[in-house]
A and B are shown apart, each in its own frame.
Chain A
């Protein structure tokens, strides 16, 4: 079968924001959204705006059908066994907090070990720190080598201590490192751990198969994969979700409420209390359709091409240091620093050329400390990124070097 390719010039027409001449190199932060996504949301607002699961009139039925349709789209997209395993959340952060609260409080006990990594995002660190402090558990972090790749020997050593939970990101948001997740999950499961994979940076950029991955939980956000903010997913293996207590409670997550007590709704609605982000979930469904239309193999192939191009272009700039592994083992993310120029100054100068660049600690302060830098500049790419946008970035870098010469 021929490998599909992405016609970038053609699909950019789906993204009105590019008409302004913007070179958007911050998709690891949040992606842009095509008209198909905003259109699906607008259609809801203008044609069948109503609450779901509650009303017997036609537009409410339409809203409910479209809202629930996203669940099947997402299930197929990540190859989960059942839509009961697909829980809507506000995003990755809420998904991980849900697990820390509803699974963690019950299952993590005094002196239990939680294994995280030094390249995890704050959203996959802080909820576990809070849980560990509350329940008296301890946390160990897997370190990285000089290329920004996890020390698998150290990971194996930690697994021998019998951790209760192992949580790590499939792709590092700060370095772009693609972790050998399948091997890591298999080893962690063999060691008896429950495994959560943070898929915030992997789901938008490469094919994902949670059953092949073998993890217990998998979390990701819609807004990094062409969808709107406010809609994300927690995948959880059914038996784990069944055994868990609710997270937030209130309307819609119940079966019966009596003054003596309450019985909870079936999966996945047990975890979806209150009126949900209906338009956003519908938008996420449209984003999944859009990515399916492109093909995730094609998405990854395009990003690899852009990343190789950018890696080479940036490596040629004098006084520029690139962090992390070579392009073949990294997603479309390049963190770097410039001698004598702070990332914020570079970002300000790039902004004047309409080049959107991230500068800061990327919500990965333990990693910045580990690298010994206060902050880095970061360029990240997606389905719509052109080589000439990378060229414009290089132009901004040279302009910054001229100003600071």
Chain B
């Protein structure tokens, strides 16, 4: 099976995993938050620089499976330049839609870990509804 034909590990997912966008840390971020998924050891953290309510700069760091890291990479691309008010509206369907693959129940936590970082870190919400 060639990579491009793979219905789950699509080329752009592997690409975001191997060449993550906005990867690294920010010095003196306005918001910094990290979450992990103890079951599989995935870690995603995000640093935000916010100016006048707009996410001016964003970096993520972490380690884990292709789904968790690609999801984080894709989310940072979307968040950069977005107002916090807009970012607040991002929900799990947006994140799963961006991934563009069928996520099994066993992997949903991987896919939504980055959203959890955003929600808990940026707005102090307790958790993300995974239902």
- Rounded to whole Å, the gap between the CB of B122 and the closest CB of chain A is 25
| Interface size band for A | 20 to 34
1/0 per residue, CB under 8 A from A, across B40-59: the answer is 11110000000000000000
Q: Judge whether B118 is part of the interface by a CB distance below 8 angstroms.
A: no
- B-binding residues in A (CB < 8 A): 340, 342-345, 348-349, 352, 359-361, 365, 368, 373-375, 399, 402-405
Q: Which of B1, B8, B40, B67 contacts A374 (CB 8 A)?
A: B40
Q: Determine the chain A residues whose CB is within 8 A of the CB of B104 once the complex forms.
A: 348
Q: Which of A365, A374, A402 contacts B42 (CB 8 A)?
A: A374
Closest to B2 in A: A402
Q: Do the beta carbons of B6 and A343 come within 8 Å of each other?
A: no
- Rounded to whole Å, the gap between the CB of A38 and the closest CB of chain B is 26
Closest to A342 in B: B65
Q: Do the beta carbons of A349 and B39 come within 8 Å of each other?
A: no
Q: Do the beta carbons of A359 and B40 come within 8 Å of each other?
A: yes
- CA of A342 to CA of B40 in the docked complex: distance in angstroms? 9
Q: Judge whether B9 is part of the interface by a CB distance below 8 angstroms.
A: yes
Q: Determine the chain A residues whose CB is within 8 A of the CB of B78 once the complex forms.
A: none
Q: Do the beta carbons of B14 and A361 come within 8 Å of each other?
A: no
Q: Judge whether B81 is part of the interface by a CB distance below 8 angstroms.
A: no
- CA of A340 to CA of B17 in the docked complex: distance in angstroms? 10
Q: Judge whether B99 is part of the interface by a CB distance below 8 angstroms.
A: no
Q: Determine the chain A residues whose CB is within 8 A of the CB of B38 once the complex forms.
A: 361, 365
Q: Do the beta carbons of A402 and B40 come within 8 Å of each other?
A: no
Q: Which of A348, A368, A402, A404 contacts B8 (CB 8 A)?
A: A348
- CA of A375 to CA of B42 in the docked complex: distance in angstroms? 9
Q: Determine the chain A residues whose CB is within 8 A of the CB of B64 once the complex forms.
A: 342, 344, 374
Number of interface residues of B (CB under 8 A): 22
Q: Do the beta carbons of A345 and B9 come within 8 Å of each other?
A: yes
Q: Determine the chain B residues whose CB is within 8 A of the CB of A343 once the complex forms.
A: 40, 65
1/0 per residue, CB under 8 A from A, across B1-13: the answer is 1010010110000
Q: Determine the chain A residues whose CB is within 8 A of the CB of B84 once the complex forms.
A: none
- CA of A405 to CA of B3 in the docked complex: distance in angstroms? 9
Q: Within B66-108, which residues are at the interface with A (CB < 8 Å)?
A: 66-67, 104, 107
- Rounded to whole Å, the gap between the CB of B124 and the closest CB of chain A is 26
Q: Determine the chain B residues whose CB is within 8 A of the CB of A399 once the complex forms.
A: 1
Q: Determine the chain B residues whose CB is within 8 A of the CB of A368 once the complex forms.
A: 41
Q: Do the beta carbons of B66 and A375 come within 8 Å of each other?
A: no
Q: Do the beta carbons of A360 and B3 come within 8 Å of each other?
A: no
- CA of A368 to CA of B42 in the docked complex: distance in angstroms? 13
Q: Within B95-131, which residues are at the interface with A (CB < 8 Å)?
A: 104, 107, 110
Q: Do the beta carbons of A345 and B40 come within 8 Å of each other?
A: no
- CA of A384 to CA of B66 in the docked complex: distance in angstroms? 33
- CA of A345 to CA of B66 in the docked complex: distance in angstroms? 7
- Rounded to whole Å, the gap between the CB of B1 and the closest CB of chain A is 7
Q: Which of A359, A360, A403 contacts B6 (CB 8 A)?
A: A403
Q: Do the beta carbons of B43 and A404 come within 8 Å of each other?
A: no
- Rounded to whole Å, the gap between the CB of A390 and the closest CB of chain B is 21
